[in-house]
Amino acid sequence: MELLWNKLDLNRPSTSSWTTSSDKFDVKHFNQSINKIHNDLQSQELFHKEATILSRLIYRMKTKFRHDKGLKNMEKVNRALCNYFHLSLDKEYNNLKDSVIIDNSNVVILPTRQMLQYVLVKTQGFAKLMCRIQDTAFCAGEFFRARVIMGQAWTFSMIAWSTVARIWMLSRNLVKKCCIWYNNMYPFLMKLEMIGVNWLPLDYSLPSDLRDWLSLSWINEQTECSLAVEKLSNNSMFSLIKTQDELADVDEESAIGNENELNEQKSVPKNEVKIIPVTTHDVGVPISRESFNFNLEMEKKKVKKVKKKRIDIKNIKTIEELNLLLTYDSYPGLDKLQWNIIKKTISKKLLKLSECNNIKKRKIRIEKIVQSIQIYIN
């Protein structure tokens, strides 16, 4: 059986109409249902903004994360979102709304059954597409969550994870809304007349309930995310951005408010207020010249940094100096790898020296260690 809902470019039926009276058909309820669906589809600005942010993120992350599985899933979400924009379900419901004409003489002109069948099939495809976006966004979020936990490129991962999470939440909410749209429009299917040739194939039947047809485990769950979507639509991330003028106004208001609070808290009692008389005479304090010169000399003196003298390998003569050499993290003229190799060789030879009790043999071995280090350096 051919899956009509899976076709992106579906051939529409011929546009035709039929007349009836308003007593036989509930035109008011039919129009209200179409208008509600059309308004819901038109008010998806937040979803469109998140899709735009996702495409920009993919462009920024393509070079550094080109082999990342999270980015691959983000690209899948982006392709599904491109199909969503190409589907343009709001235009189909707008055409259906324009086909309804109500005359003053109690006569109603309505679209045919084939036209409603076409819109319902497109709604099926829309619901399946939102399920695809929801699933791939969840997979992408899992990969970026793992990156954040590991702490690897967590700044980019956190931005991508939050964007994908918002798309996941909005697409899940759209799936639930799509089921309501379909179930509201399906009862009108048998009330409309079929004019002309059948549009649906004989072996294809539309489901009476889209929730049962999708068979999703979470479709009837009432989560906090779905309740907060309508609040988020007015307060997007772009509304949080403030211009410099707005920020300056906020700073001035907060500064004025803080000054008022400080003035209220620090109220000086009347008894402590002292009025100093205005005089033209310079009141000075006598100081000794010796103390003045001493203070000047102290200010001129600079604190000299005590430089630690590094041990020269040529002058090493005792085991203590070798142990002190091992405490250095680096040595001039050597890179980190070379210095680590020298430290390992010194530590091995020091272990052998600890077994030797003869003082003369110890001195000879220390000289040999120093010579071997000098040969390695040179």
49-66: per-residue pLDDT in tens?
999 999 998 898 888 888
* CA dist., res. 13 & res. 2, Å (int): 17
Per-residue pLDDT of the chain (378 residues; tens, 9 = 90+): 568 888 878 888 888 888 888 778 888 888 889 899 999 998 889 999 999 999 998 898 888 888 888 888 889 999 999 999 998 888 889 888 888 888 777 788 888 888 888 999 999 999 999 999 999 999 999 988 888 888 888 788 888 889 999 999 999 999 999 999 999 998 888 888 888 888 888 888 888 888 888 888 888 777 655 445 555 555 555 554 555 555 555 555 555 555 555 555 555 455 555 565 666 666 667 777 777 777 777 776 654 444 555 666 667 777 777 777 778 877 777 777 877 888 888 888 888 777 777 777 777 877 888 787 777 776
Structure tokens at 365: 């071995």
Structure tokens at 155: 């700044």
* CA dist., res. 331 & res. 257, Å (int): 58
- Give pLDDT, residue 169: 92
Structure tokens at 167: 């798309």
Task: Yes or no: say if 159 and 77 are a contact pair by the CB < 8 Å rule.
Answer: no
The domains of the chain are located at 4-244, 313-377
Q: Which residues pair with 110 in a beta bridge?
A: 18
- Give pLDDT, residue 227: 47
Query: What's the pTM value of the predicted model, to 2 decimals?
Result: 0.59
Task: Yes or no: say if 214 and 172 are a contact pair by the CB < 8 Å rule.
Answer: no
- Give pLDDT, residue 354: 77
Q: Inter-axis angle of helices 154-185 and 224-234, to 10 degrees?
A: 100
Rounded to whole angstroms, what are the CA distances from 322 to 137, 271, 319, 339, 359? 60, 73, 5, 14, 16
